[in-house]
Amino acid sequence: MSYTIIRTGGKQFPVTSGDTLRVPSIDAEVGKSIEVETLVSGSSLEAGTVNATVVAHGRGDKIIVFKKKRRKQYKRKQGHRQGFTEIRID
């Protein structure tokens, strides 16, 4: 099974043709084709590009960020939802 490792948003993802995955937000419209930088393609170590189509944009599940310092009456509670872009590898 041949796969390619792509890099987008400071992260790396192993993909094959037809895969759908969530990557950090990309500024592109839904339905548009984009090029994604590759690191490794199969057994070769050459860099190149892979074509992908933007399927959807969204936001992930909410996580709670809670900070506390004991005995100091210091508490901070904050929520966070990370944005993502769902792409399909062509």
The values of phi and psi at residue 35, to 5°, are: -110, 135
Total number of domains in the chain: 1
pLDDT at 26: 93
| Range of the structural domain that residue 85 is part of | 4-89
pLDDT at 80: 97
pLDDT at 55: 96
pLDDT tens digits in sequence order for the chain, 90 residues long: 578 899 999 999 999 999 999 999 999 999 999 999 888 766 666 778 899 999 999 999 999 999 999 999 999 999 999 999 999 998
pLDDT at 40: 74
The values of phi and psi at residue 30, to 5°, are: -65, 135
pLDDT at 34: 94
Q: How far is it, in rounded angstroms, from Cα 21 to Cα 36?
A: 13
